[in-house]
Structure 1
Amino acid sequence: MLPKTLFALTALALAANVSAKNVMTNGDMEYGDGGWYLWNNPDGPATVSSKIGAPGIGFEGSQGAVVSITAKPKDWWGLQLQPPKFLADTVFYELSFKAKADKGGSINAVVQGGPPDYRQKTSSSFTLTPEWKTYKMKFLPDQKGYGVNNVVFQLGYLTGNVYLDDVSVETVDESFDVNWYKNSPARIDSIRKQNLTADGFTPGDTVHMALKRHAFPFGTAIAFYGKMNDSLETWYRNTANKYFWYAVPENQFKWPEYEPKKGKIRREELKKYLDFAKAYNWGFRAHTLVWGIQKYDYDKHFGNQGSCKEIAQKIHDRIDRDVKEYKGRITEYDVWNEPIHETYLFDKCGWDLLDSSFVWAHRADPSAKLYVNDYNVVAMGETERYYELIKGMLDRKVPVMGIGVQCHFNGGKVVPALIKERLDRLAELGLPIKVTEFDMGSYDRGFVFSEEERAEQYEMFLRSAFSHPAVKGILFWGFWDSRHWIPGNGGFIAADGTEKPAGKRVYDLWHKVWTTNETLVADENGAVHFRGYPGLYELKTKKGSQSKNLGTLE
C-alpha cells in the first residue's frame, strides 16, 4: 500500500500536463533592470560592480547583466543576483538561463523563500565556462503565491566578469516523469528479487522460508558514548539492530576526531564500532579520510597547517597509515567528503589533492571500495557539478568506485520525480550509488512537519531510493533524538525511547512489506525454488531449522 502522498503526486501529474508557460517577467532584461537586484551581504561583502539590463552584454549582443567581482564575499552565499519575483502555483517548473564567466567557476541557482528566514528550498549548481551556455533545473514550489519561491543566483564562488541573460521559469510539460513513483512496487519486485534455491532437504520435506535480514545494505550512523555493558548503551545497540544491519561511525573516523593531535590516535574509540559490527554481523563503512571543512575547529587541526606540500604529505600519511591498518576489516571508505562544497584545501593547494587521495587509498588497499560523498546532489539539484567532478575523475583514471549522496532534506519535502531525475543523471557515470546520510529537518529549526507527515516522507524516500536500480545501499544519519545532529527531534525514536510513526513505517517496510515468507515442498532433489529478496533466511522443517544466506547483491 502506497502512502497518501501518492494521491497528491497523481494530482501533480495531471497538473504537469499543461502547455509550458513562462511565469517570470523581464528575465531577458529587455525592459532594463526592472525587478532585478544585486544583494551584497554587508557582513563580509564582495568587492563588486554590476550592470543590469545594459545593451550589448547579453546573449548575442542583447540586453543582459554583468557582475564584475574583484574579491569574493566572506560566505559563498554572500553575493546574489536576484531576478524578478514570480507568482507560483503547486506544479513543476523548470528554471532556464544563459550564463558565462571569463574565469569559469561555479554558480548556484537557488529557489528560496521570503522573510523572515529566506529558507533555501532547492538549488542546483553549475560550472560556467567563458562561452555562453544554457543551464536548467526543475523544481516543485512548496508554497503558492507571489514572492514565496524566489529564484536567486549565488555568485560567491566566482571572480572576474560573470554574465547572465534569458532567465525564464516555465511550467513543465508532460515529458517530465511524475508518474514514476506509483510504479515503485513493481520496480522493486523486478530489480530487488532473485530466483533463489535452498537445498539439502529430504525430498517431500515441507520447508518454511523466512527472510531475516536483507543482503541490501540498510544502515545508520552510530554514536557510542558509554561503556558496552551500560544499560543505556545496550538498549541503543539493540534498538539499532532492530531496524538496521549496516553501520558508519558518525564522527570517530573523521581525522580530527581520530587523531586530534599528531600521533595521538584514538584507535580504541574506533575499535568499539568495529567490535559492534562484528558482534551484530553488520556491514561497515568508514567516514571519512579527508574533509576540507573549516568549521568545528577543523581549521585548527594539524592536517590543515603548513605549506601545500606539507598538507599533501600529511594527507598521504593519514590515508596510507589508516587504510593499510584496517585492510580486511574496513572494506569501504568515504575518501573525500563534500568536495564541491568545502573547497578550502582545493582553493589553497589545487584539485590534484582530490585525485591523489584516491590513488593513495587504492595503493594502500586495492580491495577497498572508495567513495566520494557530498550533499544537495539528490535532496536538492546540485547534481550537475557533482556529475562533472566525478566524470573528470573517471576520465583521468582516478580510482573512484562509488558515489555517495547524503540526502539531508533539511526543511524540504521528498519529490520522487526529482529524485529519479537526479539519480538517473549520476547513474550515467556507471558507478554504484549509496545514500550515505539520509534525514529530514534542519540543524537550526529542527523537524518542521508533523510526525505523520514525517512517516509519509520517510516511506516515499525509501521507496524511491530502493526502487532505483543504481542505488546499492541506504543509510540514515542517526535514528534516536538524543544522538542526532538535528537537535530535539531529528530521529524516528524519541528521547524517551518510544517509537515514532516514522520508526514503525521504516520497520514495517523492511520486515513486513519487502520480505519473503513462504512454505514450499522440497523437490526430488531435496531443493526448494522461489523468488525472493537475497539475504539471510531461516529455513525450517520438522527436523529443525537452519540459517543460510541465499542470493547475492548484483
Structure 2
Amino acid sequence: MTRITVFALFLLFSLNLTAQSIDQSIDQHRKGQLIIEASPGAEVSVKQLSHEFWFGAAIANGLGSGNMSPDDLQEYKAHFLKNFNSAVTENALKWANMEPEKGKVNHQTVEGILQWTEENNIPLRGHNLFWGIDKFVQPWVKELSDAELESTIKERAISIARRYRGRFVEYDLNNEMIHGNYYEDRLGPDITAKMVQWVLQGDPDAKLYLNDYDILTGNRLEDYLAQIRGLLSQDVPLAGIGVQGHLHGSTFDRQALKASLDSLAQFGLPIRITEFNMPGQRSKFYTDTDLKMSPEEEQENAAELVDYYRICFAHPAVEGILMWGFWEGVNWIPASSLYTRDWQAKPAAKAYQELIFDTWWTETTGSTDAEGKFSIPAFYGDYQVTVDGKSQELSHRKARGETRIEFPRP
C-alpha cells in the first residue's frame, strides 16, 4: 500500500468518511428491494443490464464532425460504450464553437453526436447554451449593441431549444456565471431569467442546469449558494445543479467534497458532477500536459478516482458523474485519461470498471422460497430476470425504492 493511499484512508477515517460509512450510505441510497414472485422453488437469475445513476463522459467533437481517424473513431465509440451510460457535449454546442462568425452556424457536429447517442440509447447533456467568461465570447457578439445583443441571445435560446426539442436530456444554461458573466454585465441582472424563458419558449420541457467550478473544493461554495438562492427567489425554474470535478490537484479534500455536496443538497435539486478529471486542474499534469505518470503515480491516481466516485455515489443528492475526457488523444489533461493514446487501459480504467461493473453491480441466482418469493437488495437500474428459463426485463428505479415482478404460476 502506497504512502498516499495510506494517507487517503487516514483522511477518510478522521473525517467520519470511513469505508464502512460510505458503503452503508451507498446501500441505503443506491439500492432497493427487487422482489420476484413465482412458483415456490423456482430457479431465479437476476442480471443487471445498466445503472440508473449516470456514469458518463464528455464526447469530443471528433465523433460528430468526422475529424477523428477511422481507427480511433471505432475505438473511441467502442470504449465509450464499454464504460459509460450517459454523455455530455464537450465543445460542440458552445456558441463560439457553433457560430464563430455571425450567421454561420454549424449544426453538423451536434447532429453527429446526437445521432450516435440516440442510436445507442445514451442520454445526452447539452453543454452549454451560453458562456459569459469574457475570453470565450466571440468578437462579433461583443460588437453588437445592447439591443442587438439581447435579441441575438433570444434568437439562439429559442432556435437551439426548438431545433433539439426532446433530444437533449438537459442543458447547462449559462456556464460559470460566478466567475464571469459578460451578458449580465451588459444587459443587467435579469438576463439569466430571460434566457430561461426563451429556452422554454423553444422547448417547454427543457431542463436547465447551472454549472460552475471550484465549488466542490469549497473555495467558491458560498458564492454559488448565494447565486442559486438569488435565482430561486426570482422563480427561475432550475432543474438541477452542476458542479465541475477537476479543480483539485493529484489528490482532493474529502471533507470539502462531502461538505459542499451537503450544502448544495439544501435546495432539493439533483446534483451532477459535470466535469471530472483525476488528476485535476491544480496538478502538475495540467501545467505540463506532456508529463507522464510513474507506475506508482498511476496506482495512486486510480485510488484517488475510486475515493472520489465513492463519496459522490454515496451522496443521495448526486445523480451522476461525467468524466471530462477518457482518452489521451482528446483530453485536456491527458494524464487523467482511462486509456493511453494507443488505447491501452491504465490502472485508473481497471479500477473504474471494477467499481462500476463489479462492486456496484447486482447479478445473482437463487430459488424462490416456500411462498414463491425471491427478494434481494439491488442497485437501481435495468435488469433481466429469468425464472425457470423464462425472462422479463424491468426498470428498478430509485423513485420507487421497491420493485416487484410476477411470473405466472402453473
The answer to whether the superposition gives a TM-score over 0.5 is: yes
Q: Is the 8 A contact 2:4 2:300 kept in 1?
A: no
Partner of 1:217: 54
Q: Report the Cα distance in structure 1 between the residues aligned to 2:159 and 2:198, rounded to whole angstroms.
A: 10
Which of 382, 389, 397 is equivalent to 1:551? 397
Higher helix share: 2
TM-score by length of 1: 0.65
Partner of 1:519: 365
Say whether 1:471 aligns with 2:318: yes
Q: Is the 8 A contact 2:54 2:321 kept in 1?
A: yes
- 1:305-454 equivalences in 2 (<5 Å): 305-439=143-277, 440-442=279-281, 443-446=286-289, 450-454=297-301
SS of the equivalent of 1:207 reads strand
Q: Report the Cα distance in structure 1 between the residues aligned to 2:16 and 2:142, rounded to whole angstroms.
A: 48
Say whether 1:191 aligns with 2:29: yes
Q: Report the Cα distance in structure 2 between the residues aligned to 1:227 and 1:385, rounded to whole angstroms.
A: 39
Say whether 1:457 aligns with 2:304: yes
Residue type of the alignment partner of 2:7: A
Larger radius of gyration: 1
Q: Is the 8 A contact 1:246 1:282 kept in 2?
A: yes
Residue type of the alignment partner of 1:513: T
Say whether 1:539 aligns with 2:385: yes
Q: Is the 8 A contact 2:123 2:168 kept in 1?
A: no
Identify the structure with bigger relative contact order (alpha carbons < 8 Å, sequence gap 6+).
2
The structural deviation recorded for 1:402 is 0.7
Which of 244, 252, 270 is equivalent to 2:92? 252
Q: Is the 8 A contact 1:535 1:550 kept in 2?
A: yes
Higher strand share: 1
CA spacing shift, 1:237–1:339, aligned 2, 3 Å: same
SS of the equivalent of 1:295 reads helix
Partner of 1:294: 134
The structural deviation recorded for 1:377 is 0.6
Q: Report the Cα distance in structure 1 between the residues aligned to 2:238 and 2:248, rounded to whole angstroms.
A: 28
Structure 2: gaps (5+ residues): 401-410
Say whether 1:484 aligns with 2:331: yes
The structural deviation recorded for 1:12 is 4.8
CA spacing shift, 1:435–1:274, aligned 2, 3 Å: same
Say whether 1:499 aligns with 2:345: yes
SS of the equivalent of 2:103 reads coil
The structural deviation recorded for 1:363 is 3.1
Q: Report the Cα distance in structure 1 between the residues aligned to 2:28 and 2:11, rounded to whole angstroms.
A: 26
The structural deviation recorded for 1:235 is 1.2
Q: Report the Cα distance in structure 2 between the residues aligned to 1:359 and 1:3, rounded to whole angstroms.
A: 52
Residue type of the alignment partner of 1:8: F
Q: Report the Cα distance in structure 1 between the residues aligned to 2:32 and 2:183, rounded to whole angstroms.
A: 45
Q: Is the 8 A contact 1:215 1:553 kept in 2?
A: no
Q: Report the Cα distance in structure 2 between the residues aligned to 1:427 and 1:389, rounded to whole angstroms.
A: 14
The structural deviation recorded for 1:3 is 9.8
- 1:122-271 equivalences in 2 (<5 Å): 178-182=15-19, 183-198=21-36, 204-225=41-62, 226=66, 230-271=70-111
CA spacing shift, 1:303–1:195, aligned 2, 3 Å: farther
Q: Is the 8 A contact 1:303 1:315 kept in 2?
A: no
Structure 1: gaps (5+ residues): 17-177
Q: Report the Cα distance in structure 2 between the residues aligned to 1:390 and 1:448, rounded to whole angstroms.
A: 39
Q: Is the 8 A contact 2:380 2:396 kept in 1?
A: yes
Q: Report the Cα distance in structure 2 between the residues aligned to 1:203 and 1:509, rounded to whole angstroms.
A: 34
TM-score by length of 2: 0.86
Q: Is the 8 A contact 2:383 2:393 kept in 1?
A: yes
Q: Is the 8 A contact 1:441 1:448 kept in 2?
A: no
Provide, for residues 153-175 of structure 1, a one-character-per-residue CA deviation record: whole Å limited to 9, x for no partner. Answer: xxxxxxxxxxxxxxxxxxxxxxx
Q: Is the 8 A contact 1:434 1:471 kept in 2?
A: yes
Say whether 1:273 aligns with 2:113: yes
Provide, for residues 192-248 of structure 1, a one-character-per-residue CA deviation record: whole Å limited to 9, x for no partner. Answer: 10112356x665431211212101111000114237993321210110111111011
Say whether 1:529 aligns with 2:375: yes
The structural deviation recorded for 1:358 is 1.7
SS of the equivalent of 1:285 reads strand
Residue type of the alignment partner of 2:383: Y
Residue type of the alignment partner of 1:533: F
CA spacing shift, 1:412–1:346, aligned 2, 3 Å: farther
Q: Which moved more, 1:382-391 or 1:533-542?
A: 533-542
Partner of 2:405: none
SS of the equivalent of 1:242 reads helix
Q: Report the Cα distance in structure 2 between the residues aligned to 1:498 and 1:193, rounded to whole angstroms.
A: 33
